[in-house]
Structure 1
């Protein structure tokens, strides 16, 4: 299982699910009250959590056995969280990417969205991805952490974009690959209600492409890639038709 205990446990003395969320997400001032302690004041006995803008679920894909495994049998939901403290509790208690078996994956997606092309919130979308060809030359654990933090911190896109669905890391024999899944491929999504600009509604093709290109550039900067290195964007529909997650790129940055 991916959720084995490994390394220091930030929540060893505190059950994170019992800690109340701070009203309005404000950082409490420990000097103002002896009853309020954030993790920044006491990492073992804090009693206030800092809420995230969205609720997130961590998923794990275990390696196939080679006996005709069903995807749903391989995909496992690990935990759902909605605070900074819970994220670190999870991060410090799951197996690092560098220690996962070949053909394993982690997926961190907004709660209610399954990390599948067919999910109703993904089916009109696509993903930015980059494949690190040399596994020995990168710190995949650090990169994956930075990508997760950017996702839950809502810094991969502007607030009104509403594009980011989740992030994924793939472990393969010869490479690591990290991806960012988006709600659209730069086009308006059918069936969105009036006034729902996020996720493509009311966008021109030019605006839709710009939103995705901006996300791609932020993702590339996060991975600290050289200017000559390209990350690729492909649509899930194209991937499904080609039978591969490596469909022909629509855009590159």
Structure 2
């Protein structure tokens, strides 16, 4: 079980989990927000599915465009994100999002957890997140669990 108020990350060799480093500076992230009311089992199931998909190369030729993954665990709600190398590479980023959705709608993921596992996947540019002037950042792309 993942622990509250912790951050975990898994990144490719020699890439630090920081927006400022050259490998991440022009990138973005696919973001999954997990409401506090559905927190523990759901968080663990999604993190495991995303972790295995990324380290297992299940994103095919788009795996090279992934820098790493992050989970931020908080009382108010948690986030899991896949960080990509280039926020302007729309084709790759959209395909990564589509593959991520397919992984998360997989009926074999823990059947005890009510569906859907997520409402919306959001793709955000790291530079916009860093420069935000309000509590929300405009998503470059969104993918609904219902589509």
**TM-score normalized by structure 2?**
0.79
Counterpart Cα distance in 2 of 1:160 and 1:250: 18
Counterpart Cα distance in 2 of 1:162 and 1:245: 31
| 1:110-131 Cα shifts (integer Å, max 9, x gaps) | 0100000001100000000010
Structure 2 alignment gaps of length 5 or more: 106-114
Corresponding residue of 1:172: 74
**Does residue 24 of structure 2 align to residue 122 of structure 1?**
yes
Counterpart Cα distance in 1 of 2:21 and 2:125: 14
Contact 1:161 1:211 in 2 (8 A): no
Structure 1 alignment gaps of length 5 or more: 1-95, 188-207
Shift of 1:161: 6.0
1:252 aligns with one of 131, 142, 146: 142
Counterpart Cα distance in 1 of 2:4 and 2:25: 28
Corresponding residue of 1:135: 38
In structure 2, do the counterparts of structure 1 residues 118 and 178 end up closer, same or farther at CA, with 3 Å as the change threshold?
A: same
Corresponding residue of 2:103: 222
Q: What's the RMSD between the two structures over aligned residues? A: 2.5
| 1:54-88 Cα shifts (integer Å, max 9, x gaps) | xxxxxxxxxxxxxxxxxxxxxxxxxxxxxxxxxxx
**TM-score normalized by structure 1?**
0.48
Contact 2:121 2:142 in 1 (8 A): yes
Counterpart Cα distance in 2 of 1:184 and 1:216: 14
Higher-Rg member (1/2): 1
Corresponding residue of 2:93: 212
Contact 1:166 1:180 in 2 (8 A): yes
Shift of 1:214: 1.0
After superposing on structure 2, the runs of 4+ consecutive aligned residues of structure 1 that deviate more than 4 Å are: 225-228, 243-246
List aligned pairs for 1:31-180, cutoff 5 A. Answer: 96-97=1-2, 100-102=3-5, 104-133=6-35, 134-136=37-39, 138-156=41-59, 158-159=60-61, 162-180=64-82
In structure 2, do the counterparts of structure 1 residues 109 and 221 end up closer, same or farther at CA, with 3 Å as the change threshold?
A: same
Looking at secondary structure, tell me which structure has more strand per residue. 2
| 1:16-56 Cα shifts (integer Å, max 9, x gaps) | xxxxxxxxxxxxxxxxxxxxxxxxxxxxxxxxxxxxxxxxx
Counterpart Cα distance in 1 of 2:90 and 2:121: 15
Looking at secondary structure, tell me which structure has more helix per residue. 2
Shift of 1:142: 2.4
* SS in structure 2 of the partner of residue 221 of structure 1: helix
